[in-house]
Amino acid sequence: MSSRSDALPASGPGAAAPALPADAARRARDGQGLMVAAGLLLGTIGIFVEEAGQDPATTVWFRCVFGLAALLAWGAASGRLREITGLRGRGLAAVVGGGVLMVVNWALFFAAIPRCSIAVSTVVFHVQPFWLMAMGAWWLRERVTRAQWGAAGVALLGLALASGLADHDAAWWSQRSGYAAGLLMCLAGSLSYAGAGLIAKCEGERLGSFALSAGQCAVGACTLAPWALVQGLPAVTGLGGPMVLSDDAGVADWAVFYQRYSAFLTSQLPDGPVAGEIAGDNAAYTRRALTRHLLSFAQGFWEVDFHRLLRADGDVLGATRQATASFGLSAPFGCTVRHRYLHGRHFGASRVAHGSSALRIVAAAPLVPLILAWRAARRALPAPEHRRRFLLALPLFLVLASAWAAGEARGALAGGAAPDDPRS
């Protein structure tokens, strides 16, 4: 028979801490893996919000609708729908409360992005772990160590560096109107996000992750449905058409055409709303949009910046194949090379100002001509009328693309100053 001392764990300053049970260790590893996967998924949101160009409420509504449809399909396949249909009392209140906080969080975050950039919005928004740790310490009496506070601070610093926040981004955006409002939106959104996390911590074990996630999406889909029904499909603010080559164009003109307009060939530009760009040389815009963003035309390189501002306002760009324009004789080739360099310089500075890393842009510059040539070839070669012209124009195309790449690298190094004066 074993003694009592053999049955009891050792205690005292020199005793080893009892090992975690196997299931607790496994749950901890699973939780860490889920957090990493969720973080990777969350990191894809910004690009879709930017490309969609919708107002925050519409963006959140569509996110909730698509999320709810996917979750319900998964719940039906896994037999977990009863977790939602069985909600009552405190559980239902927790799901609705968490859903409201998440909808507010998403709307504020999406509204902040066009006001203070993806990089700044992401960094400020991710003070959420600090809110959550403070709430846990106050509400749940959880002990938060200095090491945990320090690790959260180091992670936030790493996020700031990875997002390119130090590459002139904050300085350029802080000069724009609405920057302070965007920061406040991020802080309020992070606070509501932490509140939803606290509800998940308190009720997650009892309700389950499926009920909480699907409930949040259901709340957003229902509460924002009136907005989506009233707004309907956004009206087109700018309408562009395809570009074609005229018969009198020469090889140098072909090179300019494929370098600038290969994305706007008739085969590439569908009728209706477009998520990408339209050719500014063959487009019409509403007077309201032009006057609202008149300053974006000051330096001549306006298309990308102007379209970004329109999408930030919730406006939509569209295309129609009936508005076809013909491209003929261009400026002298040397002048065009200089123009491509200046345009690339402006674009490189604009990318840095919107959160891209200057070092990455410079490092990728040698590959840019080949990437541009590959993209243009993929668009032009399938069309018999463009195949021969593109191949003959390819050497001059690479000259133009190299000028663009050099300008983009120079603009990235110049940072936020170049958009104000690309010729400096």
Q: Determine the straight-line distance between the first and last CA of the chain, rounded to whole angstroms.
A: 90
Q: Mean pLDDT, to the nearest integer, of 324-345? A: 90
* Amino acid 14: pLDDT: 42
Is 28 within a domain?
no
pLDDT tens, residue by residue, 259-293: 999 989 888 887 777 877 888 888 888 888 888 88
Domain membership flag for residue 276: yes
Give yes or no: residues 215 and 331 share one domain. no
Same structural domain, 243 and 178: no
**Pair 407, 259 in one domain:** yes
Tell me the backbone φ, ψ of residue 237, rounded to 5 degrees.
-95, -35
State the chain's mean pLDDT as an integer: 79
Same domain for 190 and 265, yes or no, is no
CA distance 58 to 52: 10
Asked whether residue 18 is assigned to any structural domain, the reply reads no
* The predicted structure's pLDDT at residue 11: 42
On whether both 224 and 279 belong to a single domain, the answer is no
Same domain, 66 and 175: yes
Evaluate whether residue 35 is within a structural domain.
no
Same domain for 251 and 169, yes or no, is no
Boundary of a domain, candidates 187, 209, 231: 231
Are residues 91 and 204 located together in one domain of the fold? yes
Task: Read off the pLDDT of residues 151-177 as tens digits, 9 standing for 90 and up.
Answer: 777 776 766 665 555 554 555 555 566
pLDDT digits (tens, 9 = 90+) for 366-383: 999 999 999 999 999 998
Does some domain include residue 22? no
Domain range spanning residue 317?
A: 236-417
**DSSP helix/strand/coil, 93:** helix
The predicted-structure confidence for 213-271, as pLDDT tens digits, reads as follows 888 888 888 888 887 666 655 567 888 889 999 888 899 999 999 999 998 988 888 77
Asked whether residue 132 falls in the same domain as residue 77, the answer is yes
Of 212, 231, 250, the one marking the end of a domain is 231
What is the per-residue pLDDT for 17?
Answer: 45
**Residue 328 belongs to what H/E stretch?**
none
* Rg for the chain, CA atoms, rounded: 27
**Rounded Cα–Cα distance for residues 231 and 44 (Å):** 26
Q: Using the 3D structure, point to which of 186, 207, 231 is the last residue of a domain.
A: 231
Residue among 284, 280, 245, 283 nearest 265 (CA)? 245
**Residue type at 312?**
A
Q: How far apart are CA 346 and CA 413, in angstroms?
A: 11
pLDDT at 51 over 80: no
Same domain, 345 and 225: no
pTM, whole model, 2 decimals? 0.49
Do 135 and 194 have their domain in common? yes
Same-domain check for residues 266 and 288:
yes
Instruction: Identify residue 89 by its one-letter amino acid code.
Output: G
pLDDT at 9: 42
pLDDT at position 335 is 92
| Domains held by the chain: number | 2
Distance CA 136, CA 197 (A): 10
Please check whether residue 395 lies inside any domain of the structure: yes
